[in-house]
Amino acid sequence: MKDWKEKIKQLAKLLKNANNVVAFTGAGISTESGIPDYRGTGGVWKRYQPVYFDEFVASHDSRCEYWRRKKELYESFTQGKPNKAHLALAELERKGKLEMLITQNIDGLHYDAGNKKVIELHGTNRQVYCLDCLKRYPSEEIFPLLFEGVDVPQCKECGGWLKPATISFGQAMPVEETEQATEFSRRCNLFIAIGSSLSVQPASLMPLYAKQSGAKLAIINFTETQYDSQADIIIREKAGLVLSRLVEEFSSL
Ligand code: NAD
Ligand code: ZN
């Protein structure tokens, strides 16, 4: 098996030769920013079962539980800063090398790093919306209520239940974002998946769409994924290290 540094060189060459590059990120790209992933070693699912969307709608206990967990993770989300991996992807966009960045993440760190061409497939933790009238609020206006003792915040306009603007399990995917992500994945000729277990559908279908359309597939992830057998390059090292070296190698070609 090739040494990981060799593989980065190989990926830098693919990057140089590709004229339509899509990056696809998951929770693993933000663990180096102090935000836990779901299925990694310190992952949130090691402790909790997810609250499904229909449970949130139907049961007050589920709403309380859901918001209690959001409150617990709030500090890591507000304090998390873009790490070397996010910054490297922003650099690739500045160099005109990234057609689109598709993310499953809800932390907004790609925008903080400077990327502008971003599709947030699973919504964002930075906004909250009313299930009844769909009014949106910035999270920093609503989350402090939790710390004042409110269990489940309510809409200031209509009294409806508020929920972070993230896509829960069992909740419909955003139509426009999903269509765009599918389209960009089908059109690219290099697809780089970073820090994702590639197990959440339909997001995890994106590498498959790319591969089916003839793109090269690179996977940067600690653990195995269902697409490893179809990947052209697999690098099992820290995303921050790999992507920062990748940009250096690419710049030197
Ligand atoms: P996941 O938790 O299923 O998988 C993360 C993967 O990243 C794991 O396979 C892990 O081995 C790997 N990993 C962790 N740290 C890494 C690092 N530094 N370098 C390389 N690999 C690393 O995440 P997913 O595939 O994104 O699916 C989880 C869902 O959870 C997504 O839908 C996302 O919306 C949500 N989520 C988002 C955040 C966030 O916004 N930061 C955090 C947790 C969960
Ligand atoms: Zn409302």
Average pLDDT, the chain: 94
**How many CB atoms are closer than 10 A to CB 215?**
23
- Share of residues in the chain with pLDDT > 70 (%): 96
103 CA → ligand 2 middle, Å? 28
At 208-234, the pLDDT tens digits run: 999 999 999 999 999 999 999 999 999
Ligand closest in space to the Cα of 161: 2
At 175-189, the pLDDT tens digits run: 999 999 999 999 999
Nearest CA-CA partner of 243 in 201, 195, 210? 195
60 an active-site residue? no
Sequence-distant contacts of 198-206: CB under 8 A, at least 24 apart: 198/26, 198/225, 198/226, 198/227, 199/39, 199/225, 199/226, 200/104, 202/173, 202/178, 203/102, 203/104, 203/121, 203/122, 206/22, 206/24, 206/102, 206/181, 206/182
Q: Is the pLDDT of residue 80 over 80?
A: yes
pTM: 0.95
The b/e string for 166-181 (b: 16+ C-beta within 10 A; e otherwise) is: bbbeebebbeebbeeb
At 99-118, the pLDDT tens digits run: 999 999 999 999 999 999 99
Place of tokens 């940067």: 220
Return the DSSP state at 34.
Answer: T
Q: Determine the residue type at 77.
A: F
Report the chain's terminal Cα–Cα distance, integer Å: 24
* Nearest protein CA to atom 15 of ligand 1, as residue: 28
**Which position among 60, 86, 110, 122 bears the catalytic label?**
122
Q: Is the pLDDT of residue 161 over 70?
A: yes
Determine the Cα–Cα distance for residues 190 and 184; give it in Å rounded to an integer.
11
Q: Is 12 touching ligand 1 by the criterion CB < 6 Å?
A: no
Q: Is the pLDDT of residue 1 over 70?
A: no
Q: Is the pLDDT of residue 88 over 70?
A: yes
Q: Is the pLDDT of residue 96 over 60?
A: yes
Q: What CA dihedral angle connects 112, 113, 117 and 118, to 10 degrees?
A: -60
